[in-house]
Amino acid sequence: MPTKAHAATYAAVTHFLKAVQASGSDAAEPVNAAMRSTPVDFFGRPGSIRPDGRVVFDLPLYRVKHPSESHYPWDYYAEERAISVANAYRPLDAAGCPLAGGSAPVR
């Protein structure tokens, strides 16, 4: 079965190809600009690319289902809630990345 890694790869490649199409180029600078200005779609979860290059979106929190709740193969998880971008990622000003303008060290 596909995993979260497969989903992330699919979303990243799709976003890149849309940026190539939108920019009309395959050169790094215009594609990068198009990627950063285009909303990210992670399977219906809207996101964006921060100045430090991190893709951020609300993260789902799952729980493992009781066997009686599973109705088909690989039906193991139930989404409980979403964790907001503000609570799921280190703030941009604490990113420790020179591209972000933050000064905190990366740990």
* Residue corresponding to tokens 């990113």: 95
Q: With bands split at pLDDT 50, 70 and 90, how would you rate the model's confidence at 5?
A: very high
- Going by C-alpha positions, the residue among 49, 50, 75, 51 that lies closest to residue 63 is 75
14: left (phi over 0), alpha (psi -120 to 50) or beta: alpha
**Tokens representing residue 85 in the block:** 């971008």
**Tokens representing residue 28 in the block:** 């790094």
Residue 83, pLDDT above cutoff 90: yes
What is d(CA 106, CA 83) in angstroms, rounded to the nearest whole number? 23
What is d(CA 22, CA 15) in angstroms, rounded to the nearest whole number? 10
What is d(CA 12, CA 19) in angstroms, rounded to the nearest whole number? 11
**Tokens representing residue 61 in the block:** 């929190």
pLDDT value for 100: 66
* Residue corresponding to tokens 């190809």: 17
Residues in the chain: 107
Mind listing the pLDDT tens digit for each residue in 20-72?
999 999 999 999 999 999 999 998 899 999 888 889 999 999 999 999 999 99
